Chains A and B, each alone.
Chain A
């Protein structure tokens, strides 16, 4: 009797060790994969990176030099405009959803945001193409920004919501008790307290679209030139990497690796900023 109880305990302990060990091993595996990708991209890409690479436009095959300067600029312009669209819409929706919407509508909005977040980015790119490219007969950075803003919104809405929920009710009541109007409470109290959370959401949303290529194929289109007019086709870093990677030439492959390294560094920096700068201020489940 006691023997079987002992073996039962042993079996349980063994089971524990086994599953915990397996989980630990797999977790290390995941971290190792990330590390491997980082190291490999760094190894392949670091030789391509130079001042010229960062500041020049692409050169055709056989013309030495060339870089992705216009792609970096294009990414910045497209993402900046996307942020201009997505931030106000996302934050206001998040505020309405959390503070003012009737519960059933809030649930529906939340569901819509979650569904929108899981729509494949290529589908959103095609939507932007049908709405902003095909009717006007030309590709444009604006259509890419529009697609990006749709990709960013759900993330901003949901982080705004969790950030506002984290503002203690006491604070809101205190503001109201001091005679603040609803608007004053919102802007001077709730949003100020929720700002780190909203900023985190914004940075993560930017990081999410920085690596996107699919929605750009039929919107930003790409360019070999310095373009600043958002109504024109524009270069974009990840698009440039894609074009270079499928080319037959070693030189372009190397530049693709260089571009990939830049992109990974950018996304990594954004994610780390979001983590470090707002550490402790946000406990939202992101």
Chain B
């Protein structure tokens, strides 16, 4: 019993002695949005290849957790799919810079035996389904919209996020924009009370995707990156211009282009105008302190995010993310320059 103890004490001592060797490193820590995680891991990896002295440790604990940890200053930066609102900013108690870092879309995934990808949906029908008013897949309106598609007489199961999520915010923001009934009865939020009688919740995008894949007759909203890498069936959605569009990198980029000026208080790009715009799109945000812990941190954070919102965006497309539009990049750079060291 005493020999292993001595061994443990020895190795612990050795570890402590090894520490100063790494002291010259600048280690930045961030936490938040699960949506940003794959993109950030890619961008920060590329960044540290060019700047070997900087290592960025980003962990995906969810947007809510990101805001919480950022506000408590346990991390150098946060990330959230919805910008911090006035109440959250007041709770943090220090000035915050919020810049868009990623752009993504949400697809409507479904599981219908015999029906492939590309089922057409209108905003009215989608709202009807999630309100619990359209309950069968062979609803006359759905059949009329999709001639030639054999829709089964199957009940519709609505799948939604059970955890508070930016994905839910963007989806409910969209439904509120297109359906007055939804806006009045349910509204927008990171977690909302789902009105449809037959609805089930899944945790995270992977939970919703999994439930949809396992449940014949299910429909749910899933982030584009998950759709593309999981080979799921998803719908063509009618946009504001009246065209049916798939969520793709191009159609999400088109939606973003329709609103050149965004800010942390005016950020919604759902139901965007434009012939090719995919209507359920949104930005994800980095949360940065105006006054970081010290000058070295400030310089490192500034350089990192200047790169992330510009050159770093070149990493986006290959893993299912949409690069930020040029004008959004320019605004972001200007906002980041407000950081004080």
Contacts and interface: CB of A to CB of B under 8 A. Distances in A.
Interface stretch (B86-94, B166-174, B222-230, B237-245): B222-230
A77 interface: yes
A103 B36 CA distance: 57
B31 A221 contact: yes
Contact of B37 (A83, A243, A245): A243
Contact of B230 (A229, A230, A248): A248
B37 A247 contact: yes
Contact of B206 (A221, A225, A246): A246
B19 A139 contact: no
Given A60-B45, A61-B41, A199-B1, A84 B229 contact: no
Interface residues of A, number: 40
B1 A195 contact: yes
Interface string B1-44: 10001001101100110110010000101010010011001101
A139 B15 contact: no
A69 interface: no
Contacts, number: 101
A138 B29 contact: yes
B42 A62 contact: yes
Interface residues of B, number: 44
Nearest to A141: B15
B229 A138 contact: no
A223 B16 CA distance: 18
A248 B38 contact: yes
Nearest to A63: B45
B8 A224 contact: no
Nearest to A243: B60
A265 interface: no
Contacts of B19: 228-229, 231
A61 B319 contact: yes
B12 A84 contact: yes
A198 B4 CA distance: 13
A245 B209 CA distance: 13
Nearest to B19: A229
A217 interface: yes
A285 to B, nearest CB: 21
B319 A221 contact: no
A232 interface: yes
Interface of chain B: mostly helix, strand, loop or mixed? helix
Contact of A246 (B59, B204, B293, B319): B204
Interface of B: 1, 5, 8-9, 11-12, 15-16, 18-19, 22, 27, 29, 31, 34, 37-38, 41-42, 44-45, 55, 57, 59-61, 72-75, 204-206, 223, 225-226, 228-230, 293, 315, 318-320
A81 B74 contact: no
B19 to A, nearest CB: 4
Nearest to A192: B1
A45 interface: no
Contacts of A13: none
Contacts of A84: 5, 8-9, 12
Interface of chain A: mostly helix, strand, loop or mixed? loop
Contacts of A230: 12, 15-16
Contact of A233 (B16, B18, B57): B57
A10 interface: no
A246 to B, nearest CB: 5
Contacts of A223: 57, 59
Contacts of A247: 37-38, 206
Interface string A3-33: 0000000000000000000000000000000
A43 B80 CA distance: 37
A80 B1 contact: no
A222 B205 contact: no
Nearest to B17: A228
A201 to B, nearest CB: 11
Contacts of B22: 228-229
A277 B293 CA distance: 52
Nearest to B293: A137
Given A60-B38, A61-B41, A217-B61, A83 B74 contact: no
Interface string A242-277: 010111111000000000000000000000000000
Contact of A134 (B12, B57, B74, B223): B74
A1 B239 CA distance: 86
Nearest to A223: B57
Contact of A80 (B8, B42, B57, B61): B8
